[in-house]
Every structure is written in C-alpha cells, then in structure tokens.
C-alpha cells in the first residue's frame, strides 16, 4: 500500500503537499495527523506539522477495476460465441461497485433459469478479477438491465405481500430465490411496521417467509 | 467450448502453463476434459465445487445454443 509522510508548517499545507506528490484528490486518501505543529512566538518554539497520507486501496485502482473487469467479461462472452456489447456503469465516476451491463439482442440465454447463468457469469468475473488484482472487489454483472427490473418488481411484490400478510393475519412464503434476490426482499421490508422476514430452507430451495410481527 | 474453459482455468490457476483442455465426442455429448497442475485442482473446482459448477452452467448454455450436450471432466 502506498503512503507518504510529509512535514510542513501547518496540517493543511502538509496535506496539499502530499496530494501533489501522489497526484491524487483528497477523497482518494486517508490522512493521519502525526503531529499538529505549533506556530510558536516569532518563530520561537515553532514545530512543524507532520502527517501520513495513505492511498485508499480500492480507489487507488478504481479505473483499473472497471477496465479489467470489462475485458474479462468481454472475453468470456465472446468465447461463449455470443455477440454483445458491454457497458460499465458506476454510481458516480470511479466508484464501486462497478456494474457491467451486457447489451444486445436475444440475450435471455445469458440470464438462465432464475438468473442462474447470470450468477455464474458474475461469479467467474469476480473470481478472475480477484486473481488479477489480488483483492476481492464488488462487481455486478447484468444483462440488458434484467436485474435492475427484477429487483424493482421484487420490491413492489414484497410490499404488496406484506399488506396481505397484515390483512389476512397469516404468513406468506415466497418462491425459492437466489441470495441476492432474497436480500432485496429482506431490505424492502426491514422497516415495515407490521411484518418481519425470515429465510428458510437450504441451498436451491431457500426462500423468504413474510411473517406477522408479534405485538 | 474448449476456449471458454481454457480461458477461465488459465486465469485462476497458479501454473497456467500446465492447463490443458481437450474436447472429444462421446456419442452426442461433447466431453470437455480439463487438466491442471495437481496443486491447482482445488482452484478450478472451488469451494463446494462452486467454480466447476459455474463453468458447467456456462458450458450448458453454449451446448443448448448449438443443440448438443456437454460434460466437463476435471482430471
């Protein structure tokens, strides 16, 4: 991990010097003040401020992550004999997680039953990226916005079913779902005043139940 | 199908030069054989077979597209 130590008259000045040395912005580093420094009286008893600046590991490689991940996914998709284009989107420039969206026609084949193919593709991409960059980074792979739409419909389904549980005063169990989808249900209802959620079952058959909160 | 397995395996093992992938027919099934260094076997299989399972899922998609069936053997 890259870090530098800098001394200057004031802490602010030292930070500026360190950032210049590293050629980065302040939000890409972690600053530790080692000594605040004193201005002294007429230069007598003055002490320099000393800081340590460390590059944040994820941000250090932020551009690389998107680029590396994109190349890997492109190679995978191509060697599967599928013609598609890949676009990387980030919450805001250079931020993680990176979402790679595969765009093209007839790509349902890449989603698979319950999104299984897509999950495998994402897993392999993460694995190879982790091997290349020597760290595990959050990368999402989507196919023509499938996951985004799926998550949105799961959220409204969760809210609708929660109302049913409330009025019928009986729990409802959803279809088996992969982990990421179960998470969406849990999150959607985490603040709900009347119901709680719980996962049950093992492996492929694991599913979420919406239960009435006990008073 | 060979290329896909070869790319994935070479990207995750510690001795990429020892990765050997062959493809042969067994009736109407395509058999993809993946050979890696002994120490790398665990990597291409993965915890609870997760990596192998993911590779099989992707291979199955390709096979379906080509109207055939596929089997991945790690030897």
CATH number at residue A42: 3.30.30
Is A121 touching B (CB cutoff 8 A)?
A: yes
pTM, two decimals, is 0.72
In chain B, the residue whose alpha carbon lies closest to the alpha carbon of A116 is B57
The answer to whether the CB atoms of A76 and B8 lie below 8 A apart is: yes
With beta carbons less than 8 A apart as the criterion, state whether A173 and A209 touch: yes
Q: Does the residue A60 lie in any domain?
A: no
The answer to whether the CB atoms of A80 and B54 lie below 8 A apart is: no
Of B11, B55, B64, the CB nearest to A131: B11
Same domain flag for A75 and A131: yes
What per-residue confidence (pLDDT) applies to A59? 46
What per-residue confidence (pLDDT) applies to A26? 75
Of the residues A111, A144, A177, the one at which a domain ends: A144
Question: Exposed, middle or buried: residue A167 (CB in 10 Å: 0-12, 13-18, 19+)?
Answer: exposed
The residue segments making up the domain with residue A205 are 148-212
Query: Using CA atoms in the order A111, A116, A119, A120, what is the torsion angle rounded to 10 degrees?
Result: -100
The answer to whether the CB atoms of A112 and B12 lie below 8 A apart is: no
Kindly report the length of chain B.
75
Task: Quote the tokens at residue B54.
Answer: 């993911």
Task: Return the beta strands (E) in chain A as ranges.
Answer: 3-8, 29-35, 49-55, 85-90, 98-103, 139-143, 172-176, 195-200, 207-212
Q: Does the residue A155 lie in any domain?
A: yes
Of B54, B61, B62, the CB nearest to A124: B54
Same domain flag for A175 and A208: yes
Backbone torsions φ then ψ of A43, nearest 5 degrees: 85, -5
Provide mean pLDDT across the span B4-18.
96
The answer to whether the CB atoms of B58 and A131 lie below 8 A apart is: no
Domain ranges of chain B: 2-74
Taking chain A (215 residues) in runs of 10, the rounded mean pLDDT of each run is: 84 88 77 85 82 72 77 95 88 72 93 91 94 84 94 96 96 92 94 95 91 85
Residues of A in contact with B58 (CB under 8 A): 76, 80, 117, 120-121, 124
What per-residue confidence (pLDDT) applies to A46? 83
More confident residue, B53 or A94: B53
What per-residue confidence (pLDDT) applies to A96? 67
Of the residues A121, A144, A167, the one at which a domain ends: A144
Same domain flag for A78 and A132: yes
Q: Does the residue A200 lie in any domain?
A: yes
Mean pLDDT of chain B: 95
Q: What is the pLDDT of residues B25-51, one digit of tens each?
A: 999 999 999 999 999 999 999 988 999
What per-residue confidence (pLDDT) applies to A93? 59
Domain spanning B2-74: CATH 3.30.300.20: yes
Same domain flag for A83 and A16: no
Same domain flag for A44 and A12: yes
Provide the CATH number for the domain around residue A103. 3.30.300.20
With beta carbons less than 8 A apart as the criterion, state whether A124 and B55 touch: yes
With beta carbons less than 8 A apart as the criterion, state whether B30 and B23 touch: yes
More confident residue, A65 or B71: B71
Report DSSP state, residue B24: E
Same domain flag for A158 and A131: no
Same domain flag for A157 and A201: yes
Q: Does the residue A185 lie in any domain?
A: yes
Same domain flag for A132 and A152: no
Complex prediction ipTM: 0.94
Overall domain count for chain A: 3
Q: Does the residue A159 lie in any domain?
A: yes
């Amino acid at each position: 991990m890259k870090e530098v130590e800098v001394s200057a008259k004031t802490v602010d000045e030292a930070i500026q010097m360190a950032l210049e040395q590293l050629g980065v912005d302040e939000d890409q580093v972690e600053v530790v003040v080692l000594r605040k420094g004193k201005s002294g009286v007429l230069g007598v008893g003055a002490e320099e401020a000393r800081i340590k600046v460390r590059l944040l590991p994820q941000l250090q490689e932020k551009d690389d992550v998107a680029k590396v991940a994109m190349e890997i996914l492109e190679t995978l998709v191509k060697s599967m004999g599928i013609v598609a284009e890949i676009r990387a989107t980030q919450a805001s420039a250079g931020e993680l997680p990176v979402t790679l969206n595969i765009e093209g026609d007839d790509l349902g084949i890449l989603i698979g039953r319950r999104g299984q193919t897509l999950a495998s593709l994402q897993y392999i991409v993460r694995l190879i990226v982790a091997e290349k960059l020597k760290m595990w980074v959050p990368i999402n792979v989507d196919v023509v916005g499938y996951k985004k739409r799926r998550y949105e419909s799961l959220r409204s389904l969760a809210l609708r079913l929660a109302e049913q549980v409330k009025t019928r005063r009986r729990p409802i169990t959803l279809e088996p779902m992969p982990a990421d989808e179960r998470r969406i249900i849990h999150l959607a209802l985490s603040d709900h005043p009347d119901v709680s959620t719980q996962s049950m079952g093992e492996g492929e058959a694991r599913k979420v139940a919406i239960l009435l909160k006990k008073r | 199908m060979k290329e896909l397995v070869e790319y994935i395996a070479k990207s995750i093992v510690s001795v990429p030069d020892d990765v050997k992938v062959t493809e042969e027919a067994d009736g109407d099934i395509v058999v993809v054989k993946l050979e890696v260094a002994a120490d790398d076997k665990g990597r291409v299989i993965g915890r609870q077979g997760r990596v192998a399972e993911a590779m099989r899922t992707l291979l199955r998609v390709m096979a379906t597209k080509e109207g055939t069936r596929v089997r991945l053997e790690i030897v």
